[in-house]
Amino acid sequence: MIPSIPRGLLLTLLAAACPAFAQVNVGVTLSLTGPAASLGAPARNMIELLPREIGGTRIDYTVLDDASDPTVAVKNFRKLVEEHKADVVIGSSTTPSTLSMVEPAARAGVPLVSVASGTAIVAPQDDIRRWSFKAVQNEALMVEATVAHMKAAGVKTLGFIGFSNAFGEGWLNEVRKQAEAQGLRLGTVERYGQTDTSVLSQVLKLMADKPDAVLVAASGTPAALPQKTLVERGYKGRIYQTYGIANRDFLRIAGRDAEGAVFAVGPVLVAEQLPAGNPVRPVATELTARYEKTYGAGSMSIFAANTWDAGLLIGEGLKRALAKHKPGTPEFRAALRDGLEATRELVTSQGVMNLSAADHVGYDRRAVALVEVRQGGWRYLGAD
pLDDT mean over 170-177: 95
Q: What sign does the CA torsion over 319, 322, 325, 327 have?
A: positive
Residue 8 confidence (pLDDT) above 90: no
For residue 129, what pLDDT is reported? Answer: 97
The amino acid occupying position 252 is R
Residue 185 confidence (pLDDT) above 80: yes
Task: With cut-offs at 50, 70 and 90, classify the pLDDT of residue 137.
Answer: very high
For residue 31, what pLDDT is reported? Answer: 97
- Name the H helices within 165-301: 166-181, 200-208, 224-232, 248-254, 281-295
Task: With cut-offs at 50, 70 and 90, classify the pLDDT of residue 12.
Answer: very low
pLDDT digits (tens, 9 = 90+) for 226-281: 999 999 999 999 999 999 999 889 999 999 999 999 999 999 999 999 999 999 99
The amino acid occupying position 318 is L
- Name the H helices within 182-237: 200-208, 224-232
pLDDT mean over 210-216: 98
Report the candidate in 118, 171, 175, 173 with the shortest Cα–Cα distance to residue 147: 175
**Whether 304 contacts 285, CB under 8 Å:** no
**Whether 26 contacts 61, CB under 8 Å:** yes
Report the candidate in 131, 63, 41 with the shortest Cα–Cα distance to residue 330: 131
The three state secondary structure string of 102-154 is HHHHHHHCCCEEECCCCHHHCCCCCCCHHHEEECCCCHHHHHHHHHHHHHHCC
Residue 6 confidence (pLDDT) above 80: no
By the 10 Å C-beta count (0-12 exposed, 13-18 middle, 19+ buried), 206 is classed as buried
- % of residues, the chain, pLDDT over 70: 94
pLDDT mean over 331-337: 98
For residue 247, what pLDDT is reported? Answer: 87
For residue 22, what pLDDT is reported? Answer: 78
Residue 326 confidence (pLDDT) above 80: yes
Residue 153 confidence (pLDDT) above 90: yes
The amino acid occupying position 132 is S
Q: What is the DSSP string of 88-105?
A: EEEE-SSHHHHHHHHHHH
The amino acid occupying position 138 is N
First vs last C-alpha separation in the chain: 83
Residue 330 confidence (pLDDT) above 50: yes
By the 10 Å C-beta count (0-12 exposed, 13-18 middle, 19+ buried), 152 is classed as exposed
For residue 14, what pLDDT is reported? Answer: 41
pLDDT mean over 169-186: 95
- % of residues, the chain, pLDDT over 90: 91
Residue 11 confidence (pLDDT) above 90: no
- The 10 Å CB-count burial string (b at 16+, else e) for 163-201 is bebbbbbbbbebbbebbeeeebebbbbbbbebeeeebee
Residue 160 β-bridge partners: 189, 215
For residue 281, what pLDDT is reported? Answer: 96
Size of the chain in residues:
384
pLDDT mean over 173-196: 96
pLDDT digits (tens, 9 = 90+) for 19-74: 345 799 999 999 999 999 999 999 999 999 999 999 899 999 999 999 999 999 99
pLDDT mean over 201-217: 98
d(CA 28, CA 71): 15
